[in-house]
Amino acid sequence: MAANYFRRVGAVRPSHLMFTTGVGAIVDLPNFSVLVRGLEDWNYSVVPQWEEIVEPRLLAAVRALGLRSVKELRPAPWLDGTDREPTGPAGRVGVPIMPFPGWLRCTACDDLAPIDSNVFGFENSKPRKPHEARFFHTVCSRKKSGRKPMAVGARFVLACTAGHLDDFPYAHFVHQGGACPNASHPKLKMDDRGGNLGANVEIKCAPCGARRNMKEVLGPRGAEKLPRCRGRRPHLGDFDPKGCGGAELKLLVVGASNQWFAQTLSALAVPRTGASELQAKVEQHWAALEGVPNVAMLPYLRTVVPAFRELERWSDQEIWAAIERHRTGAKGGEEEKGYPDLRTPEWEIFSAGQLPPATDDFTLRRDPDGVPGELKNVYADVIQAERLREVRALVGFTRLDSPDPEDPDLVTRASLSKGVATWVPASEVRGEGIFLRLPEDLLAAWEQRIEYTEVMQEHRDAYARFRKNRYSGRIAGPFDPMHLWPGERYIALHTLSHLLIRTISLECGYSSASLSERIYSGTKADPQRAGILIYTAVPDAEGTLGGLVSLAEPDALTRLTRRALAEAMHCSSDPLCAERLPQDPADFLHGAACHVCLFVSETTCERGNRFLDRRFVVPIDKPDLALFPELP
């Protein structure tokens, strides 16, 4: 909803606020674009019965990323009844936005002016048709009768890697950084003839006749003519009190995909028992437990600190041991940097010999007959996840540079709120999935075969180049180009996951965007992890009635696996695809992979279609490189 008009101007799913249209993002509506405002402007007082999203593991992970003040995960404000009564209370509830860019252009006469100049008006008079809301030119020189002409957002904005966003300074630009000699508030025009970026966009000043083409500020040389970043944070309505810090400004077209990247965390609601459950609760309530001096104080603190109500099941010694483990881990140095570990508890549940009791959020089933005989050499275990619940939290966003899925320190995270945030937006989705564990002896033998091959070395070198080109000047201290290298087995597991996802989509009717993956690959602490979870993760009915789980039945899984591996042998882009290697000077992170054979949608892949190569799974050239030199 528009903050100044208190009426809906569009609608999005809650999941969009996690990945596409969250706080600080520009959202294209049919007739104008808007910016989602910061958390201080989200109004929950008009939603009488909203419920907090509870997931202790995810909340602890959010706090571990530096957001120590966050105490809860909240869904987007929403009330039922908008369709029945668009002018009622539900029509005035939503996520607040503001028009952005702040400059508009008349589609009839090309007049260019700020929204607050009173040159343009706004109408949103049809409650049942919020998509028809629009700005219009109140007094147009070219259209003096009939409906007033629509005004649209000017095409250009400025952004920097520190997360700042600003309007393009059209008046200063057309006057070469000065002011108009003939008018204090000059009348500008934008002659927009279309074309690529700004090559055919000319800014004119009517009082003095000055004109200048936007192509002058395009490209590397044009960037030198842009002003310094002012540190503007329009979603918070202020300028960054820390300033910008000298980040380089970039000229963007409204709608550019790199103007906003979500920085999110997600976790499956898996059961936790014993010490792991206690550790999660200590992490969740660390603000209250951090100052505990010794175990002798615990009996007294149990009577006065509310957080201890959730720790009644454990003894003082167990609680103190958990506090010490968390305190030591928080000071652990380099090994503790990076995103919090949300995968280990999930892997422990999926790989356990005995599955946990079924709940409304998490129900697993293993076929008593085990893995189908034809797939004994492919999978070590197959589990049907009949019920899953995934919770996602938006912790920040970046501009121009997408956040690394494993290392949050490589980019500057923009804040969601002006002050200290006590909550972050979250959403939850329920679905189902298939968990596949691969045999350790199969992967270990394959790793020995390919570890020192030239092909795998090309992948390592490409990863080092990628990090050097992107991050070498941003990290204080020694720079390790191979830091957080995912490892050889990750490439094989990730490639197999994409092959299965694409086959499920082609054969069974699921859109690939309705599926997600979680790869459980080996770590330093547990090098023998080798699992793939493919699951539905969209907030609608697709895939929630057992359709995906049924694909883990012996006949269906055998058919899917065989088809996935067989079709990986060929790509319609071969031989270009089959021969591709990430060789110098390229810094892309995939080998024999492309949109035809392996790539999936961005919301499906956990690593942005990186670390993929068909030759490491099937024998498209050298059989020794393939995890499965002979297809099942």
Written as six digits, the tokens of 564 are 């996935």
The pLDDT tens digits for 156-175 are 999 998 999 999 999 999 98
Instruction: Give the pLDDT band of residue 538 (cuts 50, 70, 90).
Output: low
Instruction: Give the pLDDT band of residue 289 (cuts 50, 70, 90).
Output: confident
Please state which of the ranges 109-113, 193-197, 210-214 shows the lowest mean pLDDT.
193-197
Element (H, E) at 274: helix 274-284
Element (H, E) at 425: strand 423-437
Average pLDDT over residues 241-259: 86
Those residues whose C-beta lies under 8 Å from the C-beta of residue 577, and which sit 6 or more positions away, are: 571, 592, 593, 594, 596, 597, 614
Chain mean pLDDT for the chain: 85
- Let me know: does 207 contact 200? Beta carbons within 8 Å: no
Average pLDDT over residues 238-257: 87
The pLDDT tens digits for 370-413 are 888 889 999 999 999 999 999 999 999 999 888 877 777 778 88
Instruction: Give the pLDDT band of residue 467 (cuts 50, 70, 90).
Output: confident
Average pLDDT over residues 520-538: 88
User: How many Å apart are CA 285 and CA 292, to the nearest integer?
Assistant: 12
For 426, left (φ over 0), alpha (ψ -120 to 50), or beta?
A: beta
User: How many Å apart are CA 207 and CA 213, to the nearest integer?
Assistant: 18
User: How many Å apart are CA 143 and CA 352, to the nearest integer?
Assistant: 72
pLDDT at 130: 79
User: How many Å apart are CA 296 and CA 298, to the nearest integer?
Assistant: 6
pLDDT at 497: 97
Please state which of the ranges 18-22, 369-373, 387-391, 467-471 shows the lowest mean pLDDT.
467-471
Partners of residue 177 on adjacent β-strands: none
Residue 13 is which amino acid?
A: R
Written as six digits, the tokens of 588 are 């892309």
- Let me know: does 86 contact 11? Beta carbons within 8 Å: no
Of 574, 564, 534, 528, the C-alpha closest to 552 is: 534
Percent share of the chain, pLDDT over 70: 91
Give this prediction's pTM. 0.84
Average pLDDT over residues 97-126: 91
Residue 339 is which amino acid?
A: Y
pLDDT at 618: 95
Average pLDDT over residues 192-202: 69
Instruction: Give the pLDDT band of residue 506 (cuts 50, 70, 90).
Output: confident
Q: Is the pLDDT of residue 625 over 70?
A: yes
pLDDT at 412: 85
Those residues whose C-beta lies under 8 Å from the C-beta of residue 41, and which sit 6 or more positions away, are: 3, 96
pLDDT at 196: 57
Q: Between residues 45 and 345, which one has the greater pLDDT?
A: 345
**Prior bond of 575 cis (ω within 30°):** yes
Q: Is the pLDDT of residue 303 over 70?
A: yes
Written as six digits, the tokens of 275 are 């010490």
**Prior bond of 149 cis (ω within 30°):** no
Written as six digits, the tokens of 169 are 């300074």
Instruction: Give the pLDDT band of residue 436 (cuts 50, 70, 90).
Output: very high
Written as six digits, the tokens of 279 are 């550790």
User: How many Å apart are CA 610 and CA 406, to the nearest integer?
Assistant: 13
pLDDT at 285: 79
Q: Is the pLDDT of residue 339 over 80?
A: no
Q: Is the pLDDT of residue 5 over 70?
A: no
Q: Between residues 280 and 25, which one has the greater pLDDT?
A: 25
Q: At what angle do helices 274-284 and 316-330 cross, to 10 degrees?
A: 60
pLDDT at 548: 87
Partners of residue 363 on adjacent β-strands: 387
Q: Is the pLDDT of residue 500 over 50?
A: yes
- Let me know: does 4 contact 124? Beta carbons within 8 Å: no
For 546, left (φ over 0), alpha (ψ -120 to 50), or beta?
A: left
